[in-house]
Amino acid sequence: MELIYEISKPGRVGYTVKKFDRETEIKIPQKMLRKTEPDLPEVPENEVVRHFVKLSTLNHHVDKGFYPLGSCTMKYNPKVNEYTSGLSGFTHIHPFQPEYTVQGALKLMKELEDLLAEISGMDYVSLQPAAGAHGEYTGIKIIRKYHETNGDPRKFILVPDSAHGTNPASTTLSGYQAITIKSGPDGRIDIEDLKKHLNEDVAGFMVTNPNTLGIFENRIREIADLVHRAGALIYMDGANLNAFMGHIRPGDIGCDVMHFNLHKTFSTPHGGGGPGSGPVGVKKSLEPYLPIPRIVEKDGKYRFDYDKPLSIGKIHSFYGNFLVLIRAYTYIRMLGKEHLKKVSENAVINANYLREKLMYHYELPYTSTCMHEFVLSGKTFKKYGVRTLDIAKRILDFGMHAPTVYFPLIVSEALMIEPTETETKETLDKFAEVMLKIKEEAETNPDILKTAPHTTPVKRLDDTLAAKLAKVRYSKA
């Protein structure tokens, strides 16, 4: 595809701009005036539109095709959410406005906090964090503040080897040291290993449930009791809430803090560098430590409350990614309690359907019934010279996005597949057919995988060269 500069022709325009008069020019400092004309493409409006529409169709996105990216819940997002977030009453306000002029926005945010608290079993929620990892960081900072206030800051956060990779990073950024807890042969937390590491220096235990193998930690109550007896707190990574929303509330099974990925579970555009949102919920004893400001309501009036002396302070400019909050609020209100339950039911059914169709053709390291996602291994294809990366690249040739690969780290040559609840049986069947065809190709014509993709706008990249160039540029920087 041509660059826009390549379709540029002198004299073609798609706009008119009034020339500055002399009086206007004088107001601009001489040093601010250009010495040469800007090097801009000269293209008429219709060609500009066509160019960027073509570009948009080159990119794979969930509106275009299947996107089974494990751990990320890349599900279809209802367009009504885009409509409500685009209403002028929301898009034309500014966070510096007086509180009495933005009562509708404050009410929406307060109601969203209450809805998330009800869904999770938490008592209070802050909408400030801008993404899942930011929510983790906020939650661990709250745990640190809790222990510091009690005169015992402690040193360690325990993190299962099946947790999300951001968990250890959030732990370190919050001033703690992460200690890894092993998984057992069933893919769940090794309780005995957890017991060995619990002591008076442990501040908390981060648990992803279901874990990144898509397996539910069915001994979570026992784990919570053990952690609490050691004086530590349970942090729940809520990234996989899509698996049990409406059926289980983390706050009811011993969790003290958790974050929500609104851009995953509650339907906002995900990926492409767009905004996320990672609100944090806490039990009542931890409410004083939530970020400021808090939204409070009295006699139907809403305001920001900064008078929270034990708060960890602000962790985001203003009050969170507001338009993402509107989308999530719309999603919850449109579905209601009963249909939120069906979201998780369908997510689990879809994942288990695909798992059953593929488990006899690809290695399934952990055989426990999955929740919303499952992890296969491509290591059996190494004898043909084929890696999981080759399988992922080949999937692109069939108009589908590849699953997450090489994660979680406890599975060799991992393929982490999450179909989500929004896909039809026909789509799942098509994906299964593609995976079986790729298996056949690996066995009979492995070169077609090792040179894939063949039909995408950008063909096979030299990963080794890219890594070397990145290293060179980084060292120069």
**Coil, helix or strand at residue 372:** coil
Pick the last residue of a domain from 305, 335, 365. 335
Hey, what are 406's tokens?
């090489």
Same domain for 191 and 331 = yes
Q: Are residues 108 and 148 in the same domain?
A: yes
244 and 371 fall within a common domain: no
In three state form, how does the secondary structure of 292-315 look?
A: CCEEEEECCEEEEECCCCCCCCCC
38 DSSP β-pair partners: none
Residue 274 forms part of a structural domain: yes
DSSP 197-240: H-STTEEEEEEESS-TTS---TTHHHHHHHHHHTT-EEEEEETT
In a domain, 329, yes or no: yes
Q: How confident is the model at residue 469 (pLDDT cuts 50, 70, 90)?
A: confident
- 249 and 138 share a domain? yes
Domain boundary among 335, 365, 384: 335
Give the domain CATH number at 202: 3.40.640.10
The reply to whether 349 and 330 lie within a common domain is no
pLDDT confidence band for 404 (50 / 70 / 90): very high
- What does the pLDDT read at residue 213? 96
Q: What is the mean pLDDT of residues 8-16?
A: 89
Do 247 and 376 lie in one domain? The reply is no
φ/ψ (deg, to 5) at 14: -125, 20
Per DSSP, what are the bridge partners of residue 233?
A: 204
Closest CA to 280 of 318, 322, 310, 236: 236
Percent of the chain with pLDDT over 90: 81
Total tally of structural domains belonging to the chain: 3
Residues 251, 271: Cα–Cα separation, whole Å = 29
Q: Are the C-beta atoms of residues 187 and 179 closer than 8 Å to each other?
A: no
Check pLDDT > 60 for residue 270: yes
On the question of pLDDT at 414 being above 60, the answer is: yes
* Cβ–Cβ < 8 Å for 180, 161: yes
254 contacts 220 by C-beta, under 8 angstroms: yes
Residue 275: CB partners within 8 Å, gap ≥ 6? 130, 263, 268, 321, 323, 324
What pLDDT does 22 receive?
A: 59
**Which pair of tokens denotes residue 99?**
């509180």
Amino acid 264 reads K
Q: What percent of the chain has pLDDT over 70?
A: 96
Q: Which of 303, 335, 367 is the last residue of a domain?
A: 335
Cα–chain center distance at 307:
32
Same domain, 395 and 435: yes
Q: Are residues 182 and 329 in the same domain?
A: yes
- Provide mean pLDDT across the span 260-285: 86
Instruction: Judge whether residue 475 has pLDDT over 60.
Output: no
Q: In the structure, what pLDDT confidence band is assigned to residue 464 with cuts at 50, 70 and 90?
A: confident
- Answer for the pair 253, 99: CB distance below 8 angstroms, yes or no: no
pLDDT of residue 347: 97
Domain range for residue 326?
Answer: 79-335
Q: Cα dist. 408→213, 240, 336, 362, 389 in Å?
A: 7, 14, 33, 16, 14
Average pLDDT of the residues of the chain = 93
| DSSP annotation of 423 | -
Question: Is 270 part of any domain?
Answer: yes
Residues 218 and 145 in one domain: yes
Average pLDDT over residues 236-263: 95
Predicted local distance difference test score (pLDDT) of residue 281: 98
Pairwise CA distance, residues 111 & 404, whole Å: 34
| Residue 23 or 312, more confident | 312
| pLDDT band (50, 70, 90) for residue 85 | very high
DSSP state at residue 318 = T
Segment 65-78 shows an average pLDDT of: 91
pLDDT reported for residue 341: 95
130-179 confidence digits (pLDDT tens) = 999 999 999 999 999 999 999 999 999 999 999 888 999 999 999 999 99
Q: Is residue 472 part of a domain?
A: no
**pLDDT confidence of residue 472:** 64
Residue showing tokens 């809805």? 115
pLDDT per residue as tens digits for the range 359-403: 999 999 999 999 999 999 999 999 999 999 999 999 999 999 999
Instruction: Classify residue 286: in a domain, yes or no.
Output: yes
Q: How many CB atoms lie within 10 A of CB 407?
A: 17
